[in-house]
Structure 1
Amino acid sequence: MKIIWNVFCKIFKYGINILNLIRITISNIILLILIIIGITTYINIQHNKQIIHPSALVLNIKGIIVDKPTTCTKFQQISKHFLNINQSDIQENSLFYIVNILRQAKNDPNITGLILSLKNFSGGNQSSLEYIGKTLLEFKKSGKLIYAISDNYNQSQYFLASYANKIYLTPQGSVDLRGISTSKLYYQSLLKNLKINTHVFRVGAYKSAVEPFIRNNMSSQVRHEENIWINQLWDQYLNIISCNRNITKQQIFPGINTIFNELYNMNGDTANYAYHKKWIDKVESRFDIENEMKKIFGKNKKNNSFNAISMYDYKLQESNKQQHDNNQIAIICIQGTIIDGVNSNNISGSVGGDTIAYQIRNARFDPKIQSIILRINSPGGSVHASELIRQEIIATRNSGKPVIVSMGNIAASGGYWIATPANFIIASNSTITGSIGVFGIINTLEESLDAIGVHNDEVSTSPIANLSVAKALPVEFKNIMQLYVDTSYQYFIKTVAKFRCKTIADLDQIAQGHIWTGSDAIKHGLIDKIGDFDDAISKAVELAHLTQYQLNWYEDTANWIDVLIQQMNRIFYSTTIKKTYNHILFLNINEFAKIHYNNNSNPFSCIWNDPKHCYALCTDYVQYN
């Protein structure tokens, strides 16, 4: 009886403890929810500041510009307001949000001018910068003036600054123009030293994605081709700036040796050199610049500065979503390397083929959606995933809903594969496209393992029954892989030939992995028009026969835990690694990280998960600094 009583007491005791734990857990969850609601309310109050006096809108872009940010804005704001963390180096800004902000400010009577404060702007691709530049010209045409203010300008910053009515530079500042480049790391010797065998299967003499694995340098064919298109992009860059500043291209960039000699004759005074070359309009101290802005926009007695509002505090007015609810244009962004499967955790730099195909399918069956714009900013990726997306586009087009492709900075290889069946393809002059080619790549470690005394043996019913990185690749499987790649390439060019109304022989001459800028792509018939996102909207309206419409942006549904972890990683970066980097005086690694952030040109950074190991991927990216 005593034993039974003891057992009963223990069960009762544990039950009480469990109930107490549940009570505490529920109380903590409720408290956490209340805290989150309070913080969100505070942020919304702070974010939705009212403009009391006529003010300048300050375009103080922090971080990089992308088509579709992968970060959570609310978490960013919590970090900024409560943790005092500056995340400007890694913050993502939506290209379309910036454009909409500028267009709203253009018509806002409380906004009397624009200030470009680009100190923390880490950069963006040329296609995006040109689109923002177009919007800045619209702002100027409204009669409102633009002022660019900075201590220094890198090439991306100066590109936007060139649209200003007046560019200011502080006495120790500079305009850092260097040119553009493409570069890759090559691993042939590394792989050889590690005794890693790389098996490459490809079609396309100009398909450069596999070269880092099989060479120690760039092939002559690829070097020749890249030299052509990066010079086209640099010429485009100089043309726009020279037009904006009303000076010649020779004045903008006479050559690095000439710049050095002229700078030497001016005793290395970079600010006065920029003024002398008419790159800027005034060399003044921050104090003098601020006084000028006070005279233009009025003095703000609260902060002893001029009347201004940051782009991050300026509220973007939402359109009436019910007004044209049945005439919607779906906007689906395809940004990053295309991988097989879904977007499992909202990781920057990749997009799941299943996810995009599902979004297109939903738009196809949604009676409110009248047309679809695919915004492609992708170097391609998995052949299987690209084909899933392409098939869904064909089904949508066959259903009677027009599909328009708006190419961003890059829509090459698999990125072009998915664009081919669209009703209309639009790209900018600086878009990188083409790269029609396919490759497969498999690494095996049998020699590495053999060197450390690990060996493999087996019994199987066929040579390909047990494929493994721990043993040599069977000849039979090599033959199958090459067949996969050859077949995929033939399928690729036949698809392009069909939808672009070309013969296979003609298309093969411009395929083979050739990379084309938008200005060349239209000459070869790979796209339909040189334009931007606005042109894509106009074409979608035209083909769907709409008089009024509403844009419906398809967003990913991110798991809040993944977003929280992602944001905590950024906080860790800001509070630890960044502070370490900033103490390195002569080699500022933080600047290196800015330039290469979200750059998929490193083949080891890609996710190789195609079921047949076949890829349509372009790894050529431009670096402006």
Structure 2
Amino acid sequence: MGKLMGLLRWIDRVLHGIRRGLLNLITLFVLLVIAFALFHAAKSPRVQHESVLVVAPEGHLVYSYTDSDWQRAINVMLDQPRDEVLIRSLTDAIDHAASDPRIKVMELNLNRFEGGSITQLETVADALARFRKAGKPIFAYAGSYSQGSYLLAAEANHVYMNPLGAVMIAGYGAYQPYFKTLLDRIGVTMYAFRKGKYKSAVEPMTRTDMSPAAREENAAWLQTWWSSYTARVAAARGLQPAQIEHYASQLPHLVDAAQGNTAKLAKQQGLVNVIGSWREFQKAVSEADVRPLKDTPRINYLAYDEATHKRAAQSAAVAVVPLDGMIVSGDKAVPGTVASGPTVEQLDRLLHDAAVHAVVLQVDSPGGSVDASEDIRSAVLRLRAAGKPVVVSMGTLAASGAYMISSAAQTLYAEPTTITADIGVFALVPNVSAALGKLGIDVNGIGTTPSVGSESPLMPLKPDVATAMQSHVDYLYHRFVSQVAQGRKLGYEQVDAVAQGRAWSGEAALRLKLIDHLGGIGDAIADAARLAHLKPGGYRVDYLPRAGQKKGFGALSQTMGLMAQSSLGGQGAIAALARFLDLPARELQDTALLLHSARPYGYFAYDPVTWMH
């Protein structure tokens, strides 16, 4: 017995030592993160005279960061590659440098740039055009240019490319997977209810191809995107849009005629100026600065933005709230989505914040849950009722449920290439009883009422319940159209005629009176300040993080929790399946969110444009 107790005491000491060691490691990690953050905050980058502004974005463009400041600091400390480029930081740095006499030239390195939507790209291209118009040259370089990266490179005075590179311009298309054949094979029935001729979000589950109505809708906004792209590139390069169109449509034949020399072809077509190595490119940049390469002062745009960003001292504020991602119900934030609970809390805090005189909603969302959209819309109306103007700035998307929220604002801004409206409602209900039957699993039982069990995906949907669901979808659509008509001060019939679940470009939405102005976030902020009777220069702009985004040690613990998860856990499993099927993870993630919310019944105002490339 004594030996057993001694063994147990020894095990207890070992476990206690392991536990203490782990706690010490965690504490050390926390202290290192704090020290790194303080050191990073204390550093003040210095801008030297006649510097080269280095714009080398890494990742894809975003309107708001997915991760918190703490999480990004941890990623930097762990030497994790950046995958998000904040548009505001990038354009602010470029615009400030355009008028800064210390900045002489720009080095635009697009090797690690992963692009963005045309709406996002054109926002950055506008800033590059302003820099160039200020008389400061831009030198662009990439091993090869994607369609997105070339839209930025086209604004440069000098476009360099590697001798083995290519300019890949192919146009825009709308393609997505359709799961009906798979669902039929495995015995899954997907009940779909919708209101709106063009409401195509249910089609991936109910069809094997794109419907004629969806083709008509998609063709319209795709043409808007493509026309904008060709016109933009042609104007920047001194070409005609037809030349860009010809290059894209005939690219395989042109490459064959050039005997596979894609770099020579790009130069012949006027798309690049110089075919050369990275070293040759850097030498050309330094020569523009009239100094030897080793003596040329260079500053990264992020460091430059930090060094030149002025902290406003004004007490009056215009708050910018990002609504970025699919709209979902719930009290906890879900990464990459707009959760209704935290978003409503954030808006209600602004309602009671005396320093906030106006609010701008920066919307980039395909919509989502009807219930969640209604909750957020009500919070917007409370702000307006309290006398605080609300203005919307639409990014790539402000569709369906996101437009439902937007229509409650005082003034709506969109870019010409924004996809908006899509006023329609649908519901999805899965039934897996046949799939279980194939496995030899039967479902049977008894209930107290005829409709009991209809909420379960294990049971077929009864006809009377299906009728009731369609009736509810019709009601929600009528309510949606009525809300838009009231918010936009239009007649019900007028809105209904352009609704029907159809997505419109910003240009078309302006013509149809679904928005008020074409413009960007700067225009929306200035208008919100004007509506709040704030004088120019007499207010600060507070860019808020995504609602529910944890800060400080909360973010640290959240990050450590994510690091501790299995690589195939949660969203990782979906990403792995996407890789297996050779599909973008976003497609399956959105499908998973929709199906999860569809049990027992989910009603959506959602546009699947984000699935399309």
TM-score, normalising length: structure 1:
0.87
Q: Which amino acid in structure 2 is aligned with residue 57 of structure 1? A: L
**Once structures 1 and 2 are overlaid, which stretch shifts more, 187-196 or 474-483?**
474-483
Contact 1:113–1:144 at 8 Å: present in 2 too?
yes
Equivalent residue for 2:409? 422
Question: Which residue, out of 45, 51, 54, partners 1:58?
Answer: 54
**Once structures 1 and 2 are overlaid, which stretch shifts more, 391-400 or 609-618?**
609-618
Equivalent residue for 2:365? 378
Equivalent residue for 1:100? 92
Question: Which residue, out of 401, 407, 412, partners 2:388?
Answer: 401
The 1:597–1:275 alpha-carbon spacing in structure 2 relative to 1, beyond 3 Å, is farther
Whole-angstrom CA distance in 1 between matches of 2:459 and 2:564:
40
Contact 2:427–2:473 at 8 Å: present in 1 too?
yes
Equivalent residue for 2:235? 243
Whether 2:238 is the aligned partner of 1:270: answer: no
Equivalent residue for 2:466? 478
Equivalent residue for 1:412? 399
Contact 2:320–2:361 at 8 Å: present in 1 too?
yes
**Once structures 1 and 2 are overlaid, which stretch shifts more, 518-527 or 564-573?**
564-573
Whole-angstrom CA distance in 2 between matches of 1:64 and 1:300:
33
Equivalent residue for 1:134? 126
Question: Which residue, out of 201, 205, 220, partners 1:213?
Answer: 205
Q: Which amino acid in structure 2 is aligned with residue 483 of structure 1? A: S
Whether 2:353 is the aligned partner of 1:361: answer: no
Counterpart secondary structure, 1:366 = coil
The 1:432–1:271 alpha-carbon spacing in structure 2 relative to 1, beyond 3 Å, is same
Q: Which amino acid in structure 2 is aligned with residue 338 of structure 1? A: I
Contact 1:170–1:285 at 8 Å: present in 2 too?
yes
Whole-angstrom CA distance in 1 between matches of 2:602 and 2:611:
27
Question: Which residue, out of 514, 519, 534, partners 1:531?
Answer: 519
Shift of 1:196: 0.8
Shift of 1:107: 3.4
Counterpart secondary structure, 2:407 = coil
Q: Which amino acid in structure 1 is aligned with residue 314 of structure 2? A: H
Whether 2:454 is the aligned partner of 1:457: answer: no
Shift of 1:105: 2.3
Q: Which amino acid in structure 1 is aligned with residue 177 of structure 2? A: L
Whether 2:163 is the aligned partner of 1:147: answer: no
Q: Which amino acid in structure 1 is aligned with residue 527 of structure 2? A: K
Matches within 5 A, 1:272-351: 272-297=264-289, 299=291, 304=294, 306-317=296-307, 321=311, 323-325=313-315, 327-344=316-333, 346-348=334-336, 350-351=337-338
Contact 1:71–1:563 at 8 Å: present in 2 too?
no
Contact 1:432–1:516 at 8 Å: present in 2 too?
yes
Task: Please give the per-residue CA displacement for 1:340-394, whole angstroms capped at 9, x wherever unaligned.
Answer: 01343x412x110122111111111111110000011000000000000111111
The 1:565–1:386 alpha-carbon spacing in structure 2 relative to 1, beyond 3 Å, is same
**Once structures 1 and 2 are overlaid, which stretch shifts more, 141-150 or 480-489?**
141-150
Shift of 1:190: 0.8
The 1:568–1:169 alpha-carbon spacing in structure 2 relative to 1, beyond 3 Å, is farther
Contact 1:601–1:620 at 8 Å: present in 2 too?
no
Task: Please give the per-residue CA displacement for 1:64-106, whole angstroms capped at 9, x wherever unaligned.
Answer: 11111112455555555555x5x25xx1121111122222322
Counterpart secondary structure, 2:162 = strand
The 1:165–1:295 alpha-carbon spacing in structure 2 relative to 1, beyond 3 Å, is same
Question: Which residue, out of 480, 485, 494, partners 1:497?
Answer: 485
Whether 2:543 is the aligned partner of 1:553: answer: yes
The 1:102–1:522 alpha-carbon spacing in structure 2 relative to 1, beyond 3 Å, is same
Counterpart secondary structure, 2:348 = helix
The 1:67–1:568 alpha-carbon spacing in structure 2 relative to 1, beyond 3 Å, is farther
Whether 2:426 is the aligned partner of 1:439: answer: yes
Contact 2:421–2:502 at 8 Å: present in 1 too?
yes
The 1:333–1:9 alpha-carbon spacing in structure 2 relative to 1, beyond 3 Å, is same
Whether 2:31 is the aligned partner of 1:34: answer: yes
The 1:369–1:12 alpha-carbon spacing in structure 2 relative to 1, beyond 3 Å, is same
Structure 2 unpaired stretches of 5+:
none
Q: Which amino acid in structure 2 is aligned with residue 66 of structure 1? A: V
Contact 1:438–1:617 at 8 Å: present in 2 too?
yes
Whole-angstrom CA distance in 2 between matches of 1:275 and 1:518:
34
Counterpart secondary structure, 1:200 = strand
Whether 2:475 is the aligned partner of 1:487: answer: yes
Whole-angstrom CA distance in 2 between matches of 1:165 and 1:411:
34
**Once structures 1 and 2 are overlaid, which stretch shifts more, 258-267 or 14-23?**
14-23
Whole-angstrom CA distance in 2 between matches of 1:318 and 1:572:
42
Task: Please give the per-residue CA displacement for 1:414-433, whole angstroms capped at 9, x wherever unaligned.
Answer: 11111111100000000001
Equivalent residue for 2:193? 201
The 1:288–1:483 alpha-carbon spacing in structure 2 relative to 1, beyond 3 Å, is same
Counterpart secondary structure, 1:485 = helix
The 1:489–1:158 alpha-carbon spacing in structure 2 relative to 1, beyond 3 Å, is same
TM-score, normalising length: structure 2:
0.89
Whole-angstrom CA distance in 2 between matches of 1:623 and 1:147:
32
Counterpart secondary structure, 1:112 = strand
Whole-angstrom CA distance in 1 between matches of 2:563 and 2:5:
48
The 1:43–1:459 alpha-carbon spacing in structure 2 relative to 1, beyond 3 Å, is same
The 1:570–1:153 alpha-carbon spacing in structure 2 relative to 1, beyond 3 Å, is farther
Counterpart secondary structure, 1:208 = coil
Counterpart secondary structure, 1:520 = helix
Contact 1:342–1:351 at 8 Å: present in 2 too?
no
Equivalent residue for 2:497? 509
For these two proteins, the number of residue pairs brought into alignment is: 596
**Once structures 1 and 2 are overlaid, which stretch shifts more, 244-253 or 69-78?**
69-78
Whole-angstrom CA distance in 2 between matches of 1:601 and 1:457:
32
**Once structures 1 and 2 are overlaid, which stretch shifts more, 557-566 or 169-178?**
557-566
Counterpart secondary structure, 1:209 = coil
Whole-angstrom CA distance in 2 between matches of 1:170 and 1:10:
68
The 1:434–1:140 alpha-carbon spacing in structure 2 relative to 1, beyond 3 Å, is same
Task: Please give the per-residue CA displacement for 1:106-127, whole angstroms capped at 9, x wherever unaligned.
Answer: 2333322211101111111111
Shift of 1:279: 1.3
Whole-angstrom CA distance in 1 between matches of 2:249 and 2:16:
78
Shift of 1:602: 5.2
**Once structures 1 and 2 are overlaid, which stretch shifts more, 559-568 or 479-488?**
559-568
Contact 2:431–2:461 at 8 Å: present in 1 too?
yes
Contact 2:67–2:549 at 8 Å: present in 1 too?
no
Whole-angstrom CA distance in 1 between matches of 2:94 and 2:60:
17
Whole-angstrom CA distance in 1 between matches of 2:263 and 2:165:
5
Contact 1:359–1:554 at 8 Å: present in 2 too?
no
**Once structures 1 and 2 are overlaid, which stretch shifts more, 28-37 or 519-528?**
28-37
Q: Which amino acid in structure 2 is aligned with residue 68 of structure 1? A: S
Task: State the superposition RMSD in angstroms.
Answer: 3.3
Shift of 1:296: 1.9
Structure 1 unpaired stretches of 5+:
581-588
